[in-house]
Amino acid sequence: MSRRRTAAAGAVVAVALLAVAHPRPAVAAPDAATSVTCPAAPLPITAAQQDRSWSIAATQLAALSGPASLPFGATGSSAYLRTSAYAWTAGFYPASLWLMYEHTSDPAWLRLAAEYTQHVLPVASWHGTHDLGFMVGLPATLGARLDPSSQRTTAYASALRTAARSLSTRWNGRVHALRSSYYGGKWGVIIDSAMNAPMLIEVGQREGGIDGQRLVRRGTQHMVTLANSFVRADGSTRHRLAFNPRTGAVTGPIYGQGLSTASTWSRGQAWAINGFAQAFALTGDSRLLDAARRTADYWTSHVPAGCIPAWDLDVTDSAAPHDSSAAAITSDGLLTLARIETDAARSMTYRAYALATLGTLASSPWTVEDGRGVLQRQSYNVPADAREGTYSWGDAFLLHALAAAATLQP
């Protein structure tokens, strides 16, 4: 595994892998500065690698079951932490359990998935967070699709309706957005919200009627506000912005988990790509396709296919912590985008890129037999703690991307 910024041998292979017509380069431009780690020869994920990843996931996820609390993750060599159902990460472990059940059809996974989803359903009526898409939306949507119990699927559908209404209470008609939080007292929105707003669209579309249409409108407009205010001209994203809630005007950036307010936090870019792709899949709105393409193209032109970036796309220090979770979230988003992309050449490029990156993520040292959790070398909040770790969101999006990859035609 070589540690190189650009012109890695792997990038050359990636060019061959991605040799389809595309209006933007799929590998790093010569002056790109993002620090990345690339395999010697990036190749699309193989069936054997997929089997190995699912088998490691089965061992690790089973080992985390037992207590009623929800697995969070471990930073460095510290203890593996667990949380109540009210942490922003609470939905990721139940989501991984549903994906295990979908992959294996084993009733033991169904029992666990239903049990852990049950823990998070009461959170749906909580108005104290904007992260209800992660916490309730993700596991309840998977449960509604996969659980054979009609009693439980009714409960999941009801929780989704409640969660969408709870999130909708944060709507501000001047900003045209759902408030993420008050950051230092400022009315603020975070790019991560791109992953929560699609729940409003999905629930609203299912419900229909005046109430349902309002949910769809709010979810869609929130995504359009992100596209207009957070996506820079070059396709990179801001992390947090403060708005004036009376006029709707942007009042300035707010520092979050990235290198600076002018940089591009890797996981923020990944949330944007994935969220815009989901929102376009739901709405067919060309403004969201444009945002998905621009954010995806920024990523692929800074991180060669098969490579794993540092925690911020403006980091140039090759010793800096990586964020493999950002690569997993991006791969998952690119597979969604590839499925719905209206341009066939772009679709092939995004798909090839995602499969090459999954080929790396499914290998050591990113996925290892003797680790804790499934996906290693993720970063949570580097400015607060620079150690890499293993976290439940990286696990869930790796499995989600593996499940999507398995549905592709050869």
- Residues 266-295 contacting ligand GLY, CB under 6 A: 267
8 Å CB contact between 284 and 223: no
Tell me how far apart the alpha carbons of residues 379 and 391 are, in angstroms, rounded to a whole number: 8
Can you name the residues that pair with 41 across neighbouring β-strands? none
Helix (H, G, I), strand (E, B) or coil at 172: strand
State the minimum distance, in angstroms, from the CB of residue 235 to ligand GLY. 20
Name the pairing type of β-strands 240-243 and 186-190.
antiparallel
Tell me how far apart the alpha carbons of residues 360 and 49 are, in angstroms, rounded to a whole number: 10
Total residues at the site for ligand GLY (CB under 6 A)? 4
Can you name the residues that pair with 81 across neighbouring β-strands? 73
Phi, then psi, of 302 in degrees rounded to 5: -115, -20
Can you name the residues that pair with 2 across neighbouring β-strands? 38
Q: By C-beta, is 18 or 272 nearer to ligand GLY?
A: 272
Phi, then psi, of 340 in degrees rounded to 5: -110, -5
Q: Where are the alpha helices (DSSP H) in 169-283?
A: 197-207, 209-229, 266-283
322 touches ligand GLY by CB under 6 A: no
Q: By C-beta, is 176 or 239 nearer to ligand GLY?
A: 239
State the minimum distance, in angstroms, from the CB of residue 222 to ligand GLY. 16
Tell me how far apart the alpha carbons of residues 353 and 338 are, in angstroms, rounded to a whole number: 10
Give the one residue of 8, 37, 192, 389 binding ligand GLY; rule: CB under 6 A: 192
Name the pairing type of β-strands 70-75 and 81-83.
antiparallel
Q: By C-beta, is 119 or 267 nearer to ligand GLY?
A: 267
State the minimum distance, in angstroms, from the CB of residue 344 to ligand GLY. 32
Q: By C-beta, is 80 or 88 nearer to ligand GLY?
A: 88
Helix (H, G, I), strand (E, B) or coil at 71: strand
State the minimum distance, in angstroms, from the CB of residue 178 to ligand GLY. 14
Q: By C-beta, is 272 or 402 nearer to ligand GLY?
A: 272
- Residues 106-125 contacting ligand GLY, CB under 6 A: none
Q: By C-beta, is 57 or 270 nearer to ligand GLY?
A: 270
395 touches ligand GLY by CB under 6 A: no
Cβ-proximal residues to 297 (8 Å cutoff; 6+ apart), any chain: 24, 235
- Residues 242-271 contacting ligand GLY, CB under 6 A: 257, 267
Name the closest residue to ligand GLY (Cβ). 192
88 touches ligand GLY by CB under 6 A: yes
Helix axes 266-283, 197-207, angle to 10 degrees: 10
Q: By C-beta, is 28 or 191 nearer to ligand GLY?
A: 191
State the minimum distance, in angstroms, from the CB of residue 131 to ligand GLY. 7
Q: By C-beta, is 161 or 267 nearer to ligand GLY?
A: 267
- Vertex 314, ends 311 and 315: CA angle to 5°? 55
Q: By C-beta, is 256 or 371 nearer to ligand GLY?
A: 256
86 touches ligand GLY by CB under 6 A: no
Tell me how far apart the alpha carbons of residues 267 and 260 are, in angstroms, rounded to a whole number: 14
Alpha carbon 271 to chain centroid distance?
5
- By CB under 6 A, name the binding residues for ligand GLY: 88, 192, 257, 267
